[in-house]
Amino acid sequence: MKQYDTRRCAIRRKRRLTGDVFDFTVDAGDLAGISRAGQFAQIYVPGKTLRRPISICEADPENRALRFVIQVRGEGTAVLAGLEEGDSFDLLAPLGTGFEPGDTSRRALFVGGGIGVPPLLGAAKPFGGNAVLAAGFRSGDAVILKEDFEAAGCEVRIATDDGSFGRRGLVTELLGATEFDVIFACGPRPMLRAVSRLADERGVPCQVSLEERMACGVGACLGCAVRLRGAAGEFYGRVCRDGPVFDSRSVVWENGTERRAASWQT
């Protein structure tokens, strides 16, 4: 089998998690065995030219299933969210790099913001009780997947912007003197930048999942270029192919690091 493939995958289970967030489990066959959390699928949207990138929340090879959590943001995600059990997703997957858990006996900190939380679930599960999730949401009614992390044995700490659930404030304020050996993060760029700084201060490795507007999703169009740092200096990498998960030290976080296309053909 190729590194990635296209597949029509029947929706086995659909649940509404909040007003605009939906949880899908699809029959993915052998794709489930070669996928891991943090990689993503390009999902075809009927009537649209470009597929939509959605993270793999969990891969379950035993049950030949993939799980996706989708938030309605625009027309494409609204169409996907409207699909029902028995309908199918047309996937191009698995794409990009996923989280690399490494030694799961380490104390791991998972930091997520909003719709950045789902890909952390599959990465956190192998750590069980060694994992702490610090997750930030707009408000209490936007909190997702708390029970899933708890069922996996992880400690869950929540912050909300309006204080309606958990602690009011930034997700990074949930950490206190907590000690950890490794960090995994996914969410808005300012949050990732703060987490990267924290990792530098504590001297621990940190993997961050970047989000960038995408077209092809397979490294061909350069639409998702991001500035990176390597041994030979700075260079442009592709979020879809070189990422979306990067070592936080390889990301250039300063202003002007993101190159966004002015207009997109959808």
Ligand X SMILES: Cc1cc2nc3c(=O)[nH]c(=O)nc-3n(C[C@H](O)[C@H](O)[C@H](O)COP(=O)(O)OP(=O)(O)OC[C@H]3O[C@@H](n4cnc5c(N)ncnc54)[C@H](O)[C@@H]3O)c2cc1C
The verdict on 212 binding ligand X (CB under 6 A) reads: yes
Closest by Cα among 145, 122, 133 to 171: 133
The verdict on 42 binding ligand X (CB under 6 A) reads: no
Total residues at interface with ligand X (CB under 6 A): 23
The residue among 35 and 42 lying less far from ligand FES, judged by its C-beta, is 42
Instruction: Scan residues 181-220 and list those touching ligand FES (CB under 6 A).
Output: 214-217, 219-220
Q: β-strand 52-55 against 65-71: which pairing, if any?
A: unpaired
Binder of residue 39, out of ligand FES, ligand X, none (CB less than 5 to 8 A by kind): none
Q: How far is CA 12 from the centre of its chain?
A: 21
The residue among 123 and 214 lying less far from ligand X, judged by its C-beta, is 214
The residue among 168 and 259 lying less far from ligand X, judged by its C-beta, is 259
The verdict on 222 binding ligand FES (CB under 6 A) reads: yes
Binder of residue 221, out of ligand FES, ligand X, none (CB less than 5 to 8 A by kind): ligand FES
Residues 125 and 58 sit within 8 Å (Cβ to Cβ): yes
The residue to which tokens 């959390």 are assigned:
37
Burial bucket for residue 203 (CB in 10 Å: 0-12, 13-18, 19+) = exposed
The alpha-helical segments, DSSP class H, found in the chain are 75-81, 118-124, 146-151, 189-202, 239-242
The verdict on 221 binding ligand FES (CB under 6 A) reads: yes
The verdict on 48 binding ligand FES (CB under 6 A) reads: no
The verdict on 75 binding ligand X (CB under 6 A) reads: yes
Q: Give the contacts of 119 (CB within 8 A, at least 6 positions apart).
A: 37, 38, 40, 55, 56, 57, 98, 99, 186, 209
Joined together, the tokens standing for residue 44 give: 């075809």
Joined together, the tokens standing for residue 232 give: 């030979």
Instruction: Scan residues 88-147 and list those touching ligand FES (CB under 6 A).
Output: none
Minimal distance in Å, beta carbon 203 to ligand X? Answer: 28
d(CA 140, CA 117): 15
Residue 110, beta-bridge partner list: 133, 184
Instruction: Scan residues 228-257 and list those touching ligand FES (CB under 6 A).
Output: 238, 240
Q: β-strand 182-186 against 206-209: which pairing, if any?
A: parallel
The verdict on 114 binding ligand X (CB under 6 A) reads: no
The verdict on 40 binding ligand X (CB under 6 A) reads: yes
Binding site for ligand FES (CB under 6 A): 214-217, 219-224, 238, 240
Binding site for ligand X (CB under 6 A): 40, 50, 52-55, 69-71, 73-77, 115, 118, 211-214, 244, 264, 266
